Amino acid sequence: MSDNIKTLREQWRTETLEPFLAKGGERREQFKTSSEIPIERLYAPDDLAGWEYATQDGFPGQYPYTRGIYPTMYRGRFWTMRQYAGFATAEESNRRYKFLLSQGQTGLSVAFDLPTQIGYDSDHPLAEGEVGKVGVAVASLEDMETLFNGIPLDKVSTSMTINAPASILLAMYIAVARKQGVDARNLRGTIQNDILKEYLARGTYIFPPAPSMRLVTDTFAYCMESLPKWNTISISGYHIREAGSTAVQEVAFTLANAIAYVESALAAGLDVDRFAGQLAFFFNAHNNLFEEVAKYRAARRLWARIMRERFGAKKPRSWMLRFHTQTAGSTLTAQQPENNVIRVTVQALAAVLGGTQSLHTNSRDEALALPSEQAVQIALRTQQILAHESGVADTVDPLAGSYFVEQLTDEIEQRAQAYMDKIEGIGGALAAIEAGYTQREIQDAAYQVQKAIEREEEVVVGVNRFAVPEEQKLALLRVDPAVQDQQIARLRALRERRDGERADATLDRLEEAARGSENMLPRILDCVEAYVTLGEICGRLREVWGEYRPSAVL
């Protein structure tokens, strides 16, 4: 055994592992296989006879965190199991959340309908036909109160996939907590709040980049003081990958966006070590298991170096890339939907082997409709079987030391860095988006994949190979068309019974703040607590800031 490795291992044990164990320990004392073979917490090169190896990546819980951000990872606690859910009305979504929690889900994840995502109330003409269809309709604090009725917000962690109006939905969540008597400082969860990837890949933007970035940094500043356990942003590679990017592009474009957010916060006068620990990430999990594992390991290493070397962050938590993973919706097929269960299992395995902190597993029917209750239960059981039956969570970074995985990790890091250097040369993430560079790269990658599928160079089981003439039918969830009329009626009744003068006064103060430079969050919270609607808040801000209009041709 190399003396160097002995020294590194002992240093890791005394400086990193033992202090961590003193705070919470592990799930159980001993881990072993079905053959009674003991499973060590960690395997390193010196565990292999005759292999002397000095690693630059250290051990789990140590910079640059290639092997995981915590020294015990899932031996201490499993990843948070979230099933992304929301449809129709707040009442129906509330029932789904309670069902999922009763089935062992450990965190909530809210899907909002399209009008909510782009800042329109359910009775706006542009909302016609979209209310409650791809998520839950939330137009007011009243809707948010119903959504979390009977769910104690100090006992759950909640993720909300919302971007352009993220600060408004966060304010509603804070207001519900206040009504429950919960101190906002104890709230745990995440808002996506990643507006750059909306311009880049997804399209649910409202305002131009400058005021949008102001809302992001105002949220950083507000949560630093008032919601210290809250993740203020989930910087998303997921939607970049869903739009067609490669794994390398997913890492590169996500981290380039993250750099832009950090720079914006620093320009606003925030201390990097005060806000960086509340930044989180969101990645995709595709079918190529080893590439996905290497992707997560490379992303952690890159981010640690960016934060320590580029931005001079001093706290270890500022260097840690903490991320949620969702299995790949774009890989799900309408043909032979049962095959999607296998795809999701492989993808979830990659996320776990790669060290995710939180995971959503897609349902087998999502290429056809919103997931049914039975399909969601199967998706959740997939995570639970991985956690409790597979053994993959019994040791930290189990694929480390694989020649293949280590080489892939290095290669993804190098190629992602080359992309980030290119973006830096253009002037940064926002300049690259405005120039259409990143969009073109994603479009080209998506085109190449589609051509490969059409030529059968890339096999999609059940689609371009192994198809069957008769498709098995699934019982699909259908959203009642009456949902829109019911939601509109509730919204109009709310406007009639609220204190109109108070609502108007809070909107006026919001507009004053938008024209000035004060933090927007307190003004938004005032509006929300006066039962001003989402559409009214966004409408007033549209009057001040205008709307974003992308270039017609890239």
E strands, 63-106, where? 80-85
Give residue 404's domain range.
Answer: 73-85+192-454
E strands, 250-379, where? 279-285, 323-327, 358-360
Distance from C-alpha of 330 to C-alpha of 240, rounded to nearest angstrom: 11
pLDDT tens digits, one per residue of 480-527: 888 899 999 999 999 999 999 999 999 999 999 999 999 999 999 999
Nearby residues of 46 by Cβ (< 8 Å), 6 or more positions away? 1, 2, 5, 6, 9, 52, 53
DSSP label of 125: G
Starting at the edge strand found earlier in the chain, the sheet holding 358-360 runs 230-231, 188-191, 157-161, 107-111, 80-85, 358-360, 323-327, 279-285, 233-236
User: What proportion of the chain, given as a percentage, has pLDDT over 90?
Assistant: 84
Q: Are 193 and 232 in contact (CB under 8 A)?
A: yes
Q: Is 554's pLDDT higher than 60?
A: no
Q: Is 41's pLDDT higher than 90?
A: no
Q: How many domains does the chain have?
A: 1
Q: Are 204 and 195 in contact (CB under 8 A)?
A: no
What is the per-residue pLDDT for 475? 80
| pLDDT classification of 100: cutoffs 50, 70, 90 | very high
Residue 388 is assigned to a structural domain of this protein? yes
Distance from C-alpha of 296 to C-alpha of 253, rounded to nearest angstrom: 14
Residue 333 is assigned to a structural domain of this protein? yes
- Averaged pLDDT for residues 430-440: 95
| pLDDT classification of 544: cutoffs 50, 70, 90 | very high
What is the per-residue pLDDT for 3? 67
- Averaged pLDDT for residues 333-352: 97
What is the per-residue pLDDT for 272? 98
- Averaged pLDDT for residues 461-474: 85
Q: What does pLDDT average to over the chain?
A: 93
pLDDT tens digits, one per residue of 223-253: 999 999 999 999 999 999 999 999 999 999 9
Higher per-residue confidence, 58 vs 318: 318
Closest to 65 in 3D by CA, of 296, 233, 224, 252: 296
Nearby residues of 551 by Cβ (< 8 Å), 6 or more positions away? 436
What letter represents residue 111's amino acid?
Answer: A
Residue 417 is assigned to a structural domain of this protein? yes
Residue 180 is assigned to a structural domain of this protein? no
Q: Is 553's pLDDT higher than 70?
A: no
What is the per-residue pLDDT for 37? 74
Residue 480 is assigned to a structural domain of this protein? no
- Averaged pLDDT for residues 392-399: 94
What is the per-residue pLDDT for 50? 44
Q: Which two tokens stand for residue 303?
A: 């981010």
Q: Is 48's pLDDT higher than 60?
A: no
Residue 54: exposed, middle, or buried by beta-carbon count in 10 A (0-12, 13-18, 19+)? exposed
Terminal-residue alpha carbon distance, the chain: 57
What is the per-residue pLDDT for 165? 98
Closest to 324 in 3D by CA, of 253, 409, 236, 196: 236
CA 371 to chain centre: 19
Residue 66 is assigned to a structural domain of this protein? no
- Averaged pLDDT for residues 290-304: 96
Distance from C-alpha of 536 to C-alpha of 511, rounded to nearest angstrom: 11
Q: Which two tokens stand for residue 200?
A: 């880049």
Lowest average pLDDT, out of 49-58, 209-218, 496-505, 537-546, goes to: 49-58
Q: Is 51's pLDDT higher than 50?
A: no
Residue 186 is assigned to a structural domain of this protein? no
Closest to 174 in 3D by CA, of 524, 502, 434: 524
What is the per-residue pLDDT for 47? 65
Strand partners, 325: 283, 359
User: What proportion of the chain, given as a percentage, has pLDDT over 70?
Assistant: 96
pTM: 0.93
Lowest average pLDDT, out of 42-51, 91-100, 329-338, 380-389, goes to: 42-51
Q: Give the domain CATH number at 245.
A: 3.20.20.240
Residue 49 is assigned to a structural domain of this protein? no
Query: How many CB atoms sit inside 10 A of residue 126's CB?
Result: 12
- Averaged pLDDT for residues 362-390: 95
